[in-house]
Every structure is written in C-alpha cells, then in structure tokens.
Amino acid sequence: MYTYKDKNQKIALIGCGYWGTIIAKTLISLKFKNIFIFDSNIKNSKTLKNKFNNLKIENNYTNLLRNKKIKNFFLATPPSKNFKIAKKALLYNKNVFVEKPGVTKLSDLKTLNLISKKNNNKLMFGYVYCFNDHIKYVKNILNKKKLGKILYLNFQRQNLGPIRNDVNVTYDLSSHDLSIILNLFKKLPKKISHIKYSILKRNVPDISNLHMKLDHIFIDINNNWINPIKVRRLTIVGSKKMLLFDEMNLKEPIKIYNKYAKYPKIHEFKKKFFTSKALIYLGKSYSPRLKAKPALDNEIKYFLNLKKNKISITGFIFSYKILKFLKSI
C-alpha cells in the first residue's frame, strides 16, 4: 500500500478540468513524480499537460485500471459521471478519492460503499473544508464555548463561475457549507425554506438561499455562481462574542469581535427609566495568528495515509448525510 511518503508511486488523476487542474498542481507541489492524467476529452488532457510538463497523458481509462502499480485514483469528474468511473476503479481494487458531492443518487453512493467494503478499498469524498486549518480553529473555539451560546451562522459563497451544467449551485457550493456545519456540530440542520433562482439555464438554479435551524441555532447559506466578486465568508454570532472567517482576507482570515447585543432583563431596569432597546456591548477585536497549510495538501495527505480498515472523516457516512439533505430540498 502506497502512502504519502512514497513520492515515486504512480497516481491516476481522472478529469482535467477546473478542479482536476488544482489537484494536479497540488500533487506536483507535494513532490509526486508519476502522475497519469485522463480525460474523455483529450484536449483537456493536453491543456493540462501544457501547464505541467511532467504529467503523463493516458488516452484509455482501462489501461490505468489494468496497471497494478497504480493504487490511488483521484476523480475530478462531473457528479453525473462519477458513479460509473468510481465503480470501475473500485472493482479493479483501486483506492478512490472522489470530489464532492460524489454522485447524484443515494443508491449509487450505497453501491460504491458496498464494493469498497467488499474489496477492502479506500473510498473518500473531497470535502476540503474538513481539512482546513482555519475551520479546525473555529471548531476549537466553539468547543471551548469562547463565543458563548451560539445563536446564528451565516455562510456566503459567491463568485463568477465555475458554472456547472449537470448539478445546480446548491449541490456544487452549498455542499461545502453543509460539510462545515456537519463537521462543527456532528449533525445537519432542518430546512425552514429554500429560495433559488434559475438565471442562465432553466431548472438549473444559479442562486440559492437556504434558511435552516439546528436546535436553537438559525443558519443561512447564500450561494451564487454569477456574482461579480469572489466572496467566501462564515459569520458566527454568539451571546458573548462574534467570529468572522473571511477566506479572501489573506492577512486576517479569522477575526473575533468582542461584541454582542442583548435585551436587558426587567429587574435590571432603573426605577425611573425604561427602554425597549437592546443593549450593545463593543469591546476590542483581535485576529489570531495561525500557521495554516493549504487545505487540499492536508486532505491529500490524509487520504494517502488512511488505513484501509479505518473509517474516513469524509467517507460514506459523512457523504451520505450531506447527499440525503441535498436530495430532500
């Protein structure tokens, strides 16, 4: 079994589009030397090889499957095509990493899980924020209850593209935010309402607004892939403090605001004074200094070092919960 330390191992990357390019760049930066790429559109393979000369193009997927020296497959292909591609790889006794949300049908997800168990192969789904050092820090803050009682979460994930045609913006972008929620709280919220707009193509929403509640916590997820600027923010409102994770702010990605608002209790009012306004406390804010590694680096390292008999953080159970939620809305 090849691990992260085996830099000379042969690795297969299926799909040479937007995310496949990012995975290829990451594998190369991690010093892996034998990366074989395949795309059903040979032009995509050639374009990727022109960017990184040390990649090796394979024109036949079956040839990669039959190569016994290739154990680890990375799939950056469309969710609508992932089932057939991943199934073949698992049947050939390969370890498979599939970019989220993996597949579009719960039955397909179950089938892949059964094959991986039967053949004792690794099957992991690419929910990269579960390996993000900033999210790990946020999780630690919540576990220590430094923000007080959590009242509200707001996710904003917007950009101009990439625009998919086989899944809508909710499947593509909200799945990231749902994975963060599941990672932070170990469960998913219940939907209150879901408002979505199809702008570019009929029945394929480009804008999604999810309104949910998890126990006493209200949660909003706003996703948009036709926005002029790139926005990736998570705001957490606590009873004592507030936290902002702004992924586009490279200098201060996390900021903790020593601020809160609350209505005073009736016994706290002065005898001759009454107001219905909420009290607002404004204290000092600060940004913690973190030595954060690229999340995809952490994710790839985790996948390659994962033992076959160990359940992955983003394995079948994790992915099934998210896909089931997406199917329900």
Look at residue 278 in the predicted model and tell me its pLDDT: 72
In a domain, 272, yes or no: yes
Look at residue 277 in the predicted model and tell me its pLDDT: 67
Does one domain contain both 102 and 155? no
Residues 94-110 pLDDT 10s: 999 999 999 999 999 99
Does one domain contain both 108 and 41? yes
Look at residue 262 in the predicted model and tell me its pLDDT: 78
Per-residue pLDDT band for 275 (boundaries 50, 70, 90) equals low
Element (H, E) at 180: helix 175-185
* CATH code: domain of residue 123: 3.40.50.720
Does one domain contain both 258 and 163? yes
In a domain, 311, yes or no: yes
* Mean pLDDT to the nearest integer, 289-296: 95
* Mean pLDDT to the nearest integer, 215-223: 98
In a domain, 143, yes or no: yes
Domain hosting 39: range is 10-127+295-328
pLDDT at 267 over 60: no
* Mean pLDDT to the nearest integer, 118-140: 97
Strand partners for 300:
none
In a domain, 2, yes or no: no
Maximum CA pair distance of the chain? 85
Does one domain contain both 51 and 181? no
Does one domain contain both 60 and 43? yes
- For Cα atoms 89, 95, 101, give the angle at the middle one, nearest 5 degrees: 80
* CATH code: domain of residue 215: 3.30.360.10
Does one domain contain both 79 and 148? no
Look at residue 231 in the predicted model and tell me its pLDDT: 98
Per-residue pLDDT band for 317 (boundaries 50, 70, 90) equals very high
Residues 3-41 pLDDT 10s: 999 999 999 999 999 999 999 999 999 999 999 999 999
In contact, 312 and 306? CB cutoff 8 Å: yes
Residues 37-85 pLDDT 10s: 999 999 999 999 999 999 999 999 999 999 999 999 999 999 999 999 9
Cα 26 to Cα 5: distance, rounded to the nearest angstrom: 15
pLDDT at 293 over 50: yes
In contact, 173 and 166? CB cutoff 8 Å: no
In a domain, 307, yes or no: yes
Quote the tokens at residue 93: 């006794």
pLDDT at 146 over 70: yes
Taking phi first (over 0 means left), then psi (-120 to 50 degrees means alpha), and beta for anything else, what does residue 93 get?
left
In contact, 34 and 60? CB cutoff 8 Å: no
Between 172 and 265, residue with greater pLDDT: 172
Cα 110 to Cα 39: distance, rounded to the nearest angstrom: 25
* Mean pLDDT to the nearest integer, 298-311: 94
Residues above pLDDT 90, as percent of the chain: 88
Look at residue 270 in the predicted model and tell me its pLDDT: 56
pLDDT at 212 over 70: yes
Does one domain contain both 245 and 149? yes
In contact, 261 and 281? CB cutoff 8 Å: yes
Does one domain contain both 246 and 319? no
Per-residue pLDDT band for 265 (boundaries 50, 70, 90) equals low
pLDDT at 235 over 70: yes
pLDDT at 268 over 90: no
pLDDT at 266 over 60: no
Look at residue 276 in the predicted model and tell me its pLDDT: 57
Cα 58 to Cα 54: distance, rounded to the nearest angstrom: 13
In a domain, 141, yes or no: yes
Per-residue pLDDT band for 272 (boundaries 50, 70, 90) equals very low
* pLDDT, averaged across the chain: 94
Look at residue 10 in the predicted model and tell me its pLDDT: 98
* Mean pLDDT to the nearest integer, 136-158: 98
Q: Which of 184, 220, 174, 186 is nearest to 328 (CA)?
A: 174
pLDDT at 269 over 80: no
pLDDT at 318 over 70: yes
